[in-house]
Amino acid sequence: MSERDDMPREATRNAYGRALVELGQQRDDVVVLDADLSGSTRTGWFGERFPERFFNMGIAEQNMMNVAAGLAMTGKIPFASTFAIFASGRAWEQVRNTVAYPALPVRICASHAGITVGADGASHQALEDISLMRVIPNMTVIVPKDGPETERVLPAVVDLDGPVYVRLGRAEVPVLSGDDESFTVGRAQVLRDGEDVALIACGVMLEPALEAADQLEERGIGARVINLSTIKPLDGETLNAAAEECGAVVTAEEHSVIGGMGSAVTEFLAEVCPVPLRRVGIMDRFGQSGQPDQLLGEYGLDARTIREAALLAVAGKQG
């Protein structure tokens, strides 16, 4: 039994809803838009408190992004929310051309990302959204690790220049944050030190990464665990130090290995500090309907897979 089994758990979408209300109390320039999913995204909590600053755009995600851009041009700070599959896919052109091209301060906070959407199945399981968002110039991409970090992300991005994409989840995740933590855009966080291999993870994959580190320690292998909550811009200093000092890297994400966080780390390290590296994620597959825990196991998003990837990476140092 892991020591994290007794930790409180919460979905990051719930923390987002609370943080929006808090931000609305502090800032009257914050407005919220939703595409007829305010109950699921938790933006409805803001709407109940500040109805004059809440806009339900209906099932019209493309129009929602255009309206958010217009509000940003008038001096408002719009938070636009829907499911990740629609924010990153259906509205991609509007995000690119209307929001990001003029570098408008629209905060796209997308819920129900990844395989842990569960029973909704492949059509609603966004496994490509990090790739689609990080390729857009001017875009900041953030994947909070838990509820408390989500609550710290919102005040950190409210005055940030340009658009922001925040990836949120439906499933509950353990609260890994300490009371004294802070969040800075573009800064990675070392959760556990180690000198033999670096396990770099984001979102729901932090918990299995820490479990894998426990298992590796039993084999005499010290694993450094890094929370890479900001995918763009990358914290090059922390990543370079991890590669240089550990000599082997494993990335873990609830996203396709094509174009996601693992790709971003691989691209960076290939130029500055090439080391043996393995990526754990969705291996070029669509999702399917099922319970979140079952799907994580089916797609190899677990501590065992991370551990085995780490062993291969460490062995690569000796080859």
Query: Among all residues, which ones are annotated catalytic?
Result: 61
C-alpha triplet 163, 34, 85: angle, nearest 5°:
70
Q: What residues pair up with 73 in beta bridges, in sequence order?
A: none
- Residue 221: phi, psi to the nearest 5? -110, 125
Phi, psi angles (nearest 5°) of residue 282: -80, 120
Cα 177 to chain centroid, rounded:
15
Strand partners, 161: none
How far is CA 302 from each of CA 15, 142, 204, 275, 305, rounded to the nearest angstrom?
Answer: 24, 22, 10, 23, 6
Whole-angstrom CA distances from 272 to 144, 199, 234 are 26, 18, 13
Residue 288: left if φ>0, alpha if ψ -120 to 50, beta else—which one?
beta
120 within 8 A of 289, measured Cβ to Cβ: yes
